[in-house]
Structure 1
Amino acid sequence: MRYQLELFFTALGYFTRIPVPAWVPWSPERLNNAARYFPLVGWVVGGVGAGAFLAFALVLPVSLAAILSMAVTIRLTGAFHEDGWADACDGLGGGRDKAQVLAIMKDSRNGSYGTVGMVLMLLAKAAALVELAAHGPQVAAAALLAAHPLSRLAATSLIHWLPYARDDASSKSKPLAHALRPAELAAAAFFGLVPLTLLAPPEALTALAAVAVVTLWAARIFLRRLGGYTGDLLGAAQQGTELACYLGILVAWNFT
C-alpha cells in the first residue's frame, strides 16, 4: 500500500507543483510505474479547478470565474500541458520532417504556431466553460471534474499504444517510454472514467466519444509525422481531449 501511495505522489509531484512528502523516493522506473495514477492526478487538478470556479462564481460573472479557474489550474500544474500544446503546434506546424519537428519542439522559444495555438486553445476552453455554466455553475464544475481525469487517461493511452519518438535519453519524458501492464492500464481507465458518472448519461457518452475521436486522430498524426509520441505531444493530447470533453457535453445538449 505504501508503494502505491509513493507512486501516486510521484505522479503528483511530476505533473503539478504540489509539494510531496520528503520520504517519497524518485526514480525513472517509479515514474513509469506511476502512469496508472496519471488520471488520478486529474482528480486533484479538476477538483481544484472546480472548487475555484464555484468560489469565483459566487462573487463574479461566470466568464471571469471560468478564466480565473483556468488560471488556478495552470498555476497548479506549472502550465505543464499547455507548454506541450504550444510546442506541438510549433513543431507540427513548422517542421517539414521528423528531425526538424523534434528540434523545433525542443526549442524553449515560442513561435507563431505555438502562440496562436495557445491563444485559441485558452479561448476555446474558456468559452466552453462559460456555455456550460449557462446551465448552472455546478454543471461547469462537473465538466471540469470529468474532463481533467479523462484527458489524462487519453494521454496515458498514447503511452501504452504508441512508441516513443525521441532517441535522446536526456528527454524529460524518456522515463515514460514504456507500455503499461494490463493491470496498470485498467487502473488508469478506472480513475479516468469514474468521474464521467458526474454527468448525465448522454453527456458522458458524447464526451467519451469526442475524447476517443480526438485521441485516435492525434495518434494517427503522431505516428505519421514522428512515428510515435513525445512528452510535448502527450501534453498536446491532454489539452485537445480536455477541450473535446467540454465540446462533447455541449453537443449532447443539442440532441436532448
Structure 2
Amino acid sequence: MTLQPIRSEWDLLRLSLLFYTRIPVGQVAYSEERMGASFRYFPLVGAIVGGVMAGAFALADYWLPQPVAATICVIVGLVVTGGMHEDGLADYCDAFGGVHDRESTLRIMKDSSTGVYGILGLIVLLISRIILLSYIPSRVAIGTIVAMAVVARWMPILVMRLSTYARKSNEASKATHLRQAVTTKTLLLASVWALLALFLLPWQAAVAAPLPMIAQTLLVMRVSNKRIGGYTGDVLGAVECFGELTLALVTLIVVYQA
C-alpha cells in the first residue's frame, strides 16, 4: 500500500496552514489547483487555531477574571492567524459600507488603507467577541471557541461552491487561487469537520446555530453577487467573521435560556 495519497492530503493541510495561519509548516509545493483542494482542510485549520485560543482562554481563566481571559483569547487568535479574516472584514466594510459601483467596490477592497467603515467594523467585531466570550460560562466557552473557529470557516467554502470569483481573469488579484472551483469532495470533507465541531456545543446551540449562520452567509453572498458579480477574498473573510459572532451569540442565548 502506497503512502502517497496520505502524504498528498497531509501536504494540502500544511498548505492551508501556510496560507491562513502564522504556524510554521516548512516548505510546501504550491499550485493554484492544490490550493483550491486545500480548502477541504480549512475548517480543520480552524480546529487548530481554535484549540490554541481555547487553551489560552482556559489557562488565563484559571488565574484571571473571565473578561481578561476572553481578551487574551482574542489576541492569541489574531497572532496565530495574522488577522487575515479581520483584514477582509475591514476591507468589506469599507467597500460595501457606501454606495459604489462594481469597479469602485473592487478598487476599495484592493486598497491597503482602512477607512472609517473598516475601523468601525473591526472595533465592533473585537468588542463583540470579547463580550460574548465573557458572558458564556467558562465550561461552555472552551468548546464554543473551537466550534466558532471551525464552523465559521465552512461558510466561505459554501460561498465558493455556490458563487464565482468576482475579479475577471484580466483583473489583478492577490488571491487568484480563489478562482478554483470547490469540488463536491472538498465540500463534503469540509462539512465533516464542521459537523464534528458542533458536538462541542450544547445540543440546543448545535441545532440552532447552523441555520442563521447559513442564512446570513447566503445574504452576504447575494449582496456581493449583486454588487460585484461574485465574491472576493475580503468577502470570504467577512463571512467567516460574521459566522463566528452568530455562533457565539446563539450559544449565549441558549445557555441564558437554560
TM-score by length of structure 2 reads 0.94
State whether structure 2 residue 87 is matched by structure 1 residue 83: yes
C-alpha distance in structure 1 between counterparts of 2:16 and 2:171, whole Å: 20
Shift in Å, 1:216: 1.5
Query: What are the superposed Cα offsets for residues 64-121 of structure 1, whole Å, 9 maximum, x if unpaired?
Result: 1101110001010100000000000000013511110111111111100000111011
Q: 1:218 aligns to what?
A: 220
* Stretch of structure 1 that moved more, 138-147 or 79-88: 138-147
Q: 1:208 aligns to what?
A: 210
For the structure 1 residues 224 and 169, does the alpha-carbon distance in structure 2 shift closer, same or farther, using more than 3 Å as the test? closer
- Give runs of aligned pairs for residues 162-201 of structure 1, distance below 5 A: 162-167=163-168, 168=170, 170-201=172-203
| SS in structure 2 of the partner of residue 4 of structure 1 | helix
C-alpha distance in structure 2 between counterparts of 1:55 and 1:62, whole Å: 11
- Give runs of aligned pairs for residues 1-256 of structure 1, distance below 5 A: 1-22=6-27, 24-132=28-136, 135=137, 137-167=138-168, 168=170, 170-256=172-258
Aligned length: 252
C-alpha distance in structure 1 between counterparts of 2:256 and 2:61, whole Å: 25
Shift in Å, 1:203: 1.2
Identity %: 37
Runs of 4+ residues deviating >3 angstroms: 253-256
Query: What are the superposed Cα offsets for residues 170-197 of structure 1, whole Å, 9 maximum, x if unpaired?
Result: 4222212222221211001001221111
| SS in structure 1 of the partner of residue 164 of structure 2 | coil
C-alpha distance in structure 2 between counterparts of 1:94 and 1:75, whole Å: 30
Letter in 1 for 2:14: F
| SS in structure 1 of the partner of residue 63 of structure 2 | coil
* Stretch of structure 1 that moved more, 195-204 or 9-18: 195-204
TM-score by length of structure 1 reads 0.95
Query: What are the superposed Cα offsets for residues 195-241 of structure 1, whole Å, 9 maximum, x if unpaired?
Result: 11111211111221221122122112111211110001100000000
C-alpha distance in structure 1 between counterparts of 2:232 and 2:256, whole Å: 36
Letter in 2 for 1:177: R
Runs of 5+ in structure 1 lacking a partner? none
* Stretch of structure 1 that moved more, 169-178 or 94-103: 169-178
